[in-house]
Amino acid sequence: MKVVFNEKNTDFKVCLIQNKDLSRFDDKEFFEINDYKGVGAICNLAKRTLYVGLNDELTYASFIASLGSAIKSIKSLNIKSISLEFINLGCEFYSAYAHIYAVISSLYEFNKYHKEPKNSKIELISLETQQNDDIQQGVELGKVLANACEDVKNIVNEIPSTYNQLSFEKDALKLAKEFDLECNVYSDDYLQKEGMNAFLAVNRASSYPAKLIHLAYKPQNAIKKIVYVGKGLVYDTGGLSLKPADYMLTMKADKSGAAAVLGILKAASMLKLPYEIHGIIGAAQNCISEKSYMPDDVLISREGVSIEVRNTDAEGRLVLADCLSFAQDLKPDLLIDLATLTGACVVGLSEYTSGIMGYNEDLQNEFYNNSKRSGEYTCVLHFNPHIKELIKSKIADVSNTGSSRYGGAISAGMFLGEFIRKEYKDKWLHLDIAGPAYVEKVWGENAYGASAAGVRMNIINLLRMARSAK
Ligand code: BES
Ligand code: ZN
Ligand code: ZN
C-alpha cells in the first residue's frame, strides 16, 4: 500500500463524519432519500464518495472499527486509490496509525481456498492533511502493523492439516533470515533433557515433534530485555478429555498466541525498536492416540512443580508452564505471555476483549492504558487468594483445572503464576486473547477468522514504554 498526502486525483473519496454533522457536505438530497443521519456508513456511487459516521464516543478502537467496516463496503469495487480525510483522535502519531491500519487491515480476507479469490484493488491512500514528522511516522506504524498482522492472520487461518509444529519452525526461520534474528529450534530430545515434561505430555499423541522456538532481536541500542511467550497449539481437540464437536471448531486458532509473537518480532524489527526482544513459541498439537497423556497423570514441570492433570483440555497452561520457565532463564526485564487460554475469558470479557493478568497492578494498568491507543480492547482481571485455592491438588503441587465452575480465566492465570519465580513475579503479564483472536461474527475492521489479537497492543505498549523512558 502506498500512502501519499493531499493527492487530488483519486478514484474515491472517504469522508469522516463526527457528531452526526452532515452540514458541510453538498449532498443533501442523497442523505434525505437514503434517510442517512450520520450513523454508520453510506456510499454515493454517483459521487464516488463514502460517508463514514463515526461513533459519538470517539476512541482509537471505535474509529478503526467504523472506518474499517466502512472500507469493507467499497473494497470489491474497481477502485485503485482513495483519498481519506484526517481526524486527530488526541495524538497525531497514533491517529495517523489508526487511519492507515483501519484501511489496510479491512482489505484482508483469507481466501486462498476459494476457486476464484477476489482481492481488493486499492493500492493508494491519500491522506488529506498537512504532513509532519508525527503523522509520517504514524503512517509508517500503521503500514508495519497491518503487514505484521496480515502474516499473523495467515498463520492462524491456515488449516490444521497443513499447519503443524514444523510449519512454525519454518516460519520462524524465514522471519529470522529476513530480519537477521537469532533463531534456535528445539525438539523432543532437548525438551526431555530440560525436563519439560508438561509441554511434552501435551504433544505426546502427535505425529509431529513438539517444537520450542526461540527467536531473538538484538539491536545495539537496547534499553531493556523483553521476552514474549506464545501458546502455539496448532490444534486443540481437547485430547482424551475430548471437546464436543461444536467447541472443537475454530481450534486451529489455538496457535494465535504463538503467531502473535512472530508478528511482534516482525513489527519490532521493522520499526527498529530499542529493545532486546525474545520470542518463545511452544508449538504442540493436542490430539488423541494410544500415546495420549491422561487425566489423573502427574507431570513434573521444568520448574520442578508437579502438576495433577485433571483435564487434558487445559493443555495450553502446561505448554506455557515449561516455556515460561525457559523464558525466565533469559533474565527478562519484562515477561509477557500471549495465549488463547480459556473459554472462561471469552464468557467473562466477550469476544472483543483480552484479559490482562499478573501480580503487578501498576504494570497491568500501564499496559491497559497503553493498549487503548492500539484500538484493541483489554481488561485487567485481578488475582486473589480464594481463586488460588481452586487450583490446589491433593496429590501434586498444583492442579491443571480449577475446582469451581467460576473464575476460569483467573484460575488459569494463577496456575501460570505458580511457574513464575519470585524475582519475576512483578515483571510478568499474562494476556488471555481467547476472545478476539478468532472472529466468528464479523465486527469492525475484521474479516471472518483470525484478527492478529495481541500484536498491536504489545507494539504500542513498547513504543509508549520507550517514550516514557526518555
Ligand atoms: N484453547 C482452549 C481455550 C479456548 C476456548 C480458546 C475457546 C478459544 C476459544 C483451552 O485449551 C481450553 O480448552 N480450555 C478449557 C479449560 C478447562 C478444561 C479448564 C476451557 O476453557 O474450557
Ligand atoms: Zn484445550
Ligand atoms: Zn487450547
Q: Taking residues 296-303, what's their average pLDDT?
A: 98
Place of cell 503479564: 429
Shared-domain flag, residues 168 and 257: yes
d(CA 424, CA 153): 31
Q: In total, how many domains does the chain have? A: 2
In this prediction, residue 467 has a pLDDT band, given cuts at 50, 70 and 90, of confident
CATH of the domain at 381: 3.40.630.10
Q: Is the pLDDT at 470 greater than 70, yes or no?
A: no
Which one from 47, 121, 243, 388 is the annotated catalytic residue?
A: 243
Which one-letter DSSP state was computed for residue 127? E
Which of 202, 285, 341 is the best mutation target for the ligand 1 pocket, counting ligand atoms within 8 Å of the beta carbon and taking the most? 341
Q: Taking residues 3-16, what's their average pLDDT?
A: 97
| Domain endpoint, select from 96, 115, 135 | 135
Ligand 1, atom nearest to 408 Cα: 19
Shared-domain flag, residues 277 and 329: yes
Shared-domain flag, residues 371 and 263: yes
- Cα 122 to ligand 3 centroid, rounded to whole Å: 37
Q: Which three cell numbers stand for residue 275?
A: 529493545
In this prediction, residue 238 has a pLDDT band, given cuts at 50, 70 and 90, of very high
- Exposure on the CB side of residue 182, measured as CA atoms within 13 A: 11
d(CA 24, CA 47): 15
Which one from 75, 153, 317, 464 is the annotated catalytic residue?
A: 317
CATH of the domain at 63: 3.40.220.10
Shared-domain flag, residues 131 and 167: no
Q: Is the pLDDT at 469 greater than 90, yes or no?
A: no
Shared-domain flag, residues 93 and 167: no
For residue 288, what are the β-bridge partners? none
Shared-domain flag, residues 264 and 317: yes
Ligand 1, residues at Cβ distance < 6 Å:
236, 254, 311, 313-316, 340-344, 346, 401, 408, 434
Shared-domain flag, residues 312 and 391: yes
Q: Taking residues 296-311, what's their average pLDDT?
A: 98
Nearest CA to ligand 1 atom 16: 314
Q: Is residue 218 part of a domain?
A: yes
Ligand 1, atom nearest to 311 Cα: 18
How far, in Å, are 115, 121, 122, 197, 459 from residue 106 at the CA level? 21, 13, 11, 42, 20
Q: Taking residues 396-415, what's their average pLDDT?
A: 98
Helix or strand holding residue 337 (H, E): strand 334-339
d(CA 363, CA 369): 10
Shared-domain flag, residues 317 and 361: yes
Single pTM value for the model: 0.98
Is 317 in the active site? yes
Q: Is residue 48 part of a domain?
A: yes
d(CA 268, CA 119): 28
Shared-domain flag, residues 130 and 169: no
Shared-domain flag, residues 72 and 208: no
Q: Which residues surround ligand 2, an ion (CB under 5 A)?
A: 236, 313, 315
The residue range of the domain holding 358 is 163-469
Q: Radius of gyration (Cα) for the chain, nearest Å?
A: 23
- pLDDT tens digits, residue range 54-93? 999 999 999 999 999 999 999 999 999 999 999 999 999 9
State the average pLDDT for the chain.
98
Is 392 in the active site? no
> What is the reported pLDDT for 370?
98
Shared-domain flag, residues 396 and 445: yes
- pLDDT tens digits, residue range 89-107? 999 999 999 999 999 999 9
Shared-domain flag, residues 81 and 200: no
- Those residues whose C-beta lies under 8 Å from the C-beta of residue 283, and which sit 6 or more positions away, are 165, 168, 169, 210, 211, 212, 213, 232, 234, 255, 258
Ligand 1, atom nearest to 437 Cα: 8
